[in-house]
Amino acid sequence: MWAAVCLALLILSASALANPSCPTPKSGMLNVHLVCHTHDDVGWLKTVDQYYYGSKNSIQLAGVQYVLDSVVRELKEDPNKKFIYVESAFFFRWWDNQSQDMQNTVKDLVARGQLEFINGGWCMNDEAAAHYNGIIDQMTLGLVKLNNTFGPEARPTVAWQIDPFGHSREQASLFAQMGFEGLFFGRLDHDDKNTRWANKTLEMVWQASQNLGESAWLFTGVLPNGYGPPGGFCFDILCHDEPIMDDRRLHGYNVDKKVNDFLKAAQNQAQGYATDHIIMTMGEDFNYQSADMWYKNLDKLIRYVNERQTNGSKINVFYSTPSCYLKALHDANITWPTKTDDFFPYASGNHSYWTGYFTSRPALKGYVRKTNNFLQAVKQVSAMLGLGQDPRLERLKEAMGVLQHHDAVSGTAKQHVTNDYAERLAQGVAESFELVAEAYSKLQPDISGVEETVEPVFCPLLNVSSCPVSETSSAFVVTVYNPLARPRQYYVRIPVPEGVGYKVTDYKGDAVEVQLVPLPESLLNIPGRNSTAKHDLVFLAKDIPPLGFLQFHVKKSANIRIYKEQMSSVHVPTGSGEMELVGKNLALGVDKDTGLLKSIGVVTPNGITMVKVNQTFLRYAGMSGNNHNEDHRASGAYIFRPNGTSAQEISAKANITIIEGPLLFEIHQVWTPWVSQVLRVYMDQLVLEMEWLVGPIPIEDGIGKEIVNRVVWPDIVTNNTFYTDSNGREIVQRVKDFRPTWQLQNLEPIAGNYYPVNSRLILSAGPDVSAAILTDRSQGGTSLDHGHMELMVHRRLLHDDAFGVGEALNETAFGKGLVVRGKHYLLHSYFATSKDCDFGCLHRSVGEHIMLEPVLSFTPTTATTHTWKNTYTNKWTGLKTSLPANVHLLTLEPWTDGSLLLRLEHMYEAQESATLSNPVTVNLQDLLVDWKILSAVETTLSGNLLKKDENRYTWNVDSAHHDNHISSSQCDSEVYEYDDEFSVTLNPMEIKTFILTTEKSTTLF
Ligand SMILES: [Zn+2]
């Protein structure tokens, strides 16, 4: 019965939306789809606003406003002409400045299918360094705004990733889940492209999820020529190709030559493709500022090429769009090849592996991830407290949208543009924090006239352990907000000056145990750090409610005895041999001679099981070169190319200091003044924190350097196989010096084995022995030998790599090389000592805790502990029932007309955990304390299409590849709208998106 229902649904979903004015192809001919387009980077050599206006044209002659002005003029004059537009960040800058008349004109052009939105996200996001949460948010922002402006008929149906430097499987899966029909891109490994060209497999069906079945299939096409026109046919004001000169009375008549060249180019291109349709991208970066040049010449080209048909030519050319091209491919009704791995890494030549940008600008990458954490919390608080779509929140969403661009989070923009990106994040965070402060104040009693009211303050410099409020106030309240939909505990760290003890009180009025932990010397010495804090005040916040907060009252104590009691014991080990530090759950073995980690163990009632592990930092010397040919390619912002075969020691030993106390122990390791680390074990945790601090990387020797953290598990035999996450979601297998679908000749044995790591790198030697390292930002990573885990944390280079940015990646701040501080988290399957939480559970739950850490804010107070406890709301939650351990609350945000957007995600893959990989059911009505849900309507992942209206193309694939286990989500798909029963079932890795109509059920605010 169940199978019959599924079948019926599949048959019904036979056709999908395409542009209403697609040209009619001619059968028996090669049909050439000319796609007029511009590629407008949301910041790269100029800032996003400089590009919009056309300011600083001495850097690059590019002004997006002129593109849209001039294209609209051309389209209005000739209904035959078409254009596609991609980046919503630019489009809405322009749209907001148009008259009503002009807006109506544009609406007509869109309705007629002359102007078609493609992709439609805020930007064309990077695929290596962007996290899935950021990708979904930025796509949703652009797509929903397009929907609200032009209606559902204008919904982009084609994903267009023409420039990103490699393509992730998760990106394709997310696009499919957003309702896209197909994806086109321009860059893939040169040998992969040659192979696919020869086999006519440049177009395929990407089976982009190992969990979601056909709902994650996406038709994918590689564009023939990057995203540019065939040679000789660039007619832009920025190009130098000859126009079509067709007046025989004038000198230079070239129609015959141009037509011959074009016919040849079309025939050549057809060699690589499987149908009698081909696509030609007629445009380049920031083209069409003077659109008439393109259109005038393309008009002539179309006329003269098609005139040849009267002489027997079998080539037919017309204005088209990617959705019309995709429809033609679908109508061809042939069987397509499939693909299940991804398109990383991208090599444009034998020595040009684009694997450096996986790590480039690690501070910016960390800032983007941290801001995502904050953005999710702001959305949740705004939704739960009914704040609606506040413009301050919109600005933060837009800033994050810009930062996902393939020259932003990728670290491949010029320095002044990078500074502009960081400024956008800082402004967005500052404004949104006002919103959070307002939300918090709604929950507090009206005490005006009784107490002096002080607004909470957010400390954005906690990353360098600096916070003016905690450093200077004699008493303050810290609010610990938990953005997870289940309770958690968290070790709060607050920067404080030395020589002072503290009394910390919880909401029940009980004293909380405190440990004062000295900050490492290398942190205190970071250039530009302006702080009196010498210690972190650490305490454990237990049972922080889900989507809620706990407050703690913190008061300085004048009693020197309290300070001494709270201060950690600090000592430098003497003697030689291995020493063991044993905590409540974990133990570390450290070599006293080298100061390096030697083993890690788990403490059980039966004793301690120790596992061998070595860890140190190494450096690659970046290749210098003039880039005149592949052999002389330099390591740069895009490219990783070490100058030599292996990484060199930074120092054979690290000086160490041991810090111990009741809540945690730390080992402070210093290799050199510019490489140090804190190994940290909290008593109640089952993970080793490794907080690294790298920089200023010295360059006085004239050599650029790329710094890696290498962890080696001698007993994990990995046979060249390792695993990396894809955009923070599913795990992809990697095999050293191997690509699953083509023969690799790897002339760069290190760089050619680097892959993007957004959240974790995993080693496995069978079902019982695995280890994982998790990251707090995107980085490049690899495994070059048995048991090796390698993550690149920072790079400072002295040469440009000649792929356009035109600067060496040499970041400085305060006159010195940039210092970066970040964390790795190390796990071994032996740590999974509890029946309830196996290795899959360990790395997924630690990963979720890293992705959404608690948000801290600080309020100076004059209230006594007693008054604070009895007057203020110091514990609050907006969630009625915690979500099950395998469900992640991905999004809760204010939506239109008082509704809310909710996304729930099953955060486990099938097979990953014995119990947590099972399907799970949640009742939406049980979620929110203060809101009654009147109805819930399921949409696609991007919130711009009702799930019941989704009707994607189906594609014939080689039956050997046909995935028989159709995701059961497709089969319970009759239920997309809920107004009575709100029970929702999630399968492994499934995300469901809902628009909730709600009614306030509280008088609290
Ligand atoms: Zn680009």
Helices 255-270 and 291-307, interaxial angle, to 10°? 80
Q: How far is the CA of 130 from the centre of ligand 1 (A)?
A: 15
CB 756 within 8 A of CB 762: no
Mean pLDDT of 321-345: 97
Judge whether 241 counts as a catalytic residue. no
Mean pLDDT of 543-562: 96
The three-point CA angle 160-163-165 to 5° equals 120
Main-chain phi, psi angles of 260, to 5 degrees: -60, -45
Token duo for residue 362: 């690690």
Q: How far is the CA of 409 from the centre of ligand 1 (A)?
A: 13
Q: How far is the CA of 731 from the centre of ligand 1 (A)?
A: 27
Q: How far is the CA of 339 from the centre of ligand 1 (A)?
A: 25
Residue 381 CB contacts under 8 Å (≥ 6 apart), including other chains? 387, 435, 436, 439, 440, 481, 878
pLDDT confidence band for 960 (50 / 70 / 90): low
DSSP 8-class letter at 598: E
**Distance set, CA 195 to CA 189, 191, 353, 741 (Å):** 10, 6, 18, 9
Sort 833 into a burial class: Cβ within 10 Å, 0-12 / 13-18 / 19+. Answer: middle
pLDDT value at position 969?
43
pLDDT value at position 451?
61
Measuring CA to CA, which residue among 66, 153, 167 is closest to residue 115? 153
Euclidean distance between CA atoms 373 and 675, whole angstroms: 27
Q: Looking at this protein, which amino acid is placed at residue 312?
A: G
Measuring CA to CA, which residue among 945, 989, 996, 948 is closest to residue 178? 945
For residue 152, whether the previous peptide bond is cis, meaning omega lies within 30 degrees of 0, is no
Average pLDDT, the chain: 94
Asked if the model's pLDDT at residue 494 lies above 70, the reply is yes
pLDDT value at position 975?
76
The partner residues of 983 in beta bridges, in order of sequence, read 923
Asked if the model's pLDDT at residue 12 lies above 70, the reply is no
Euclidean distance between CA atoms 908 and 176, whole angstroms: 19
* 921 CB neighbour count, 10 Å cutoff: 10
DSSP string, 91-140: HHHHHTTS-HHHHHHHHHHHHTTSEEE-S-SSS-B-SSS--HHHHHHHHH
Q: How far is the CA of 633 from the centre of ligand 1 (A)?
A: 21
The three-point CA angle 120-123-128 to 5° equals 120
pLDDT value at position 455?
84
Q: How far is the CA of 693 from the centre of ligand 1 (A)?
A: 32
Share of the chain above pLDDT 70, in %: 96
Q: How far is the CA of 477 from the centre of ligand 1 (A)?
A: 46
CB 709 within 8 A of CB 783: no
* 960 CB neighbour count, 10 Å cutoff: 6
Measuring CA to CA, which residue among 912, 911, 771, 910 is closest to residue 841? 912
Euclidean distance between CA atoms 966 and 987, whole angstroms: 12
pLDDT value at position 678?
98
Q: How far is the CA of 44 from the centre of ligand 1 (A)?
A: 8
Mean pLDDT of 759-767: 94
For residue 573, whether the previous peptide bond is cis, meaning omega lies within 30 degrees of 0, is no
Asked if the model's pLDDT at residue 449 lies above 70, the reply is no
CB 727 within 8 A of CB 757: no
Measuring CA to CA, which residue among 399, 345, 418, 406 is closest to residue 162? 406
Token duo for residue 929: 């304390």
CB 848 within 8 A of CB 839: no
Mean pLDDT of 60-87: 98
pLDDT value at position 419?
98
DSSP 8-class letter at 716: -
Q: How far is the CA of 126 from the centre of ligand 1 (A)?
A: 9
Name which residue leads in pLDDT, 446 or 777. Answer: 777
Measuring CA to CA, which residue among 277, 312, 583, 550 is closest to residue 440? 550
pLDDT value at position 454?
74
CB 621 within 8 A of CB 611: no
Q: How far is the CA of 301 from the centre of ligand 1 (A)?
A: 27
Sort 114 into a burial class: Cβ within 10 Å, 0-12 / 13-18 / 19+. Answer: buried
Measuring CA to CA, which residue among 647, 686, 670 is closest to residue 849? 686
Three-state DSSP class for 615? strand
Euclidean distance between CA atoms 594 and 576, whole angstroms: 9
CB 453 within 8 A of CB 838: no
Share of the chain above pLDDT 90, in %: 92
Least confident of 80-94, 234-248, 450-464, 923-937: 450-464
Question: Of these residues, 41, 163, 776, 838, which one is catalytic?
Answer: 163
Q: How far is the CA of 405 from the centre of ligand 1 (A)?
A: 8
pLDDT value at position 887?
98
Name which residue leads in pLDDT, 369 or 444. Answer: 369
Q: How far is the CA of 129 from the centre of ligand 1 (A)?
A: 15
CB 734 within 8 A of CB 721: yes
Token duo for residue 334: 């042939």
Q: How many Cα atoms are found within 13 Å in the side-chain-facing hemisphere of 400?
A: 31
pLDDT confidence band for 453 (50 / 70 / 90): low
Q: How far is the CA of 162 from the centre of ligand 1 (A)?
A: 8
Kindly report the pTM of this predicted structure: 0.96
Q: How far is the CA of 551 from the centre of ligand 1 (A)?
A: 45
Euclidean distance between CA atoms 619 and 862, whole angstroms: 51
pLDDT confidence band for 768 (50 / 70 / 90): confident
Q: How far is the CA of 623 from the centre of ligand 1 (A)?
A: 25
Q: Which residues of 403-424 are buried (b: 16+ CB within 10 A; e: fewer)?
A: bbbbbbbbbbbbeebbebbbeb
Mean pLDDT of 738-753: 96
As a whole number of Å, the end-to-end CA separation of the chain is: 49
Asked if the model's pLDDT at residue 811 lies above 60, the reply is yes
pLDDT confidence band for 330 (50 / 70 / 90): very high
pLDDT value at position 834?
84
Q: How far is the CA of 39 from the centre of ligand 1 (A)?
A: 6
Q: How far is the CA of 124 from the centre of ligand 1 (A)?
A: 8
Q: Looking at this protein, which amino acid is placed at residue 184?
A: F
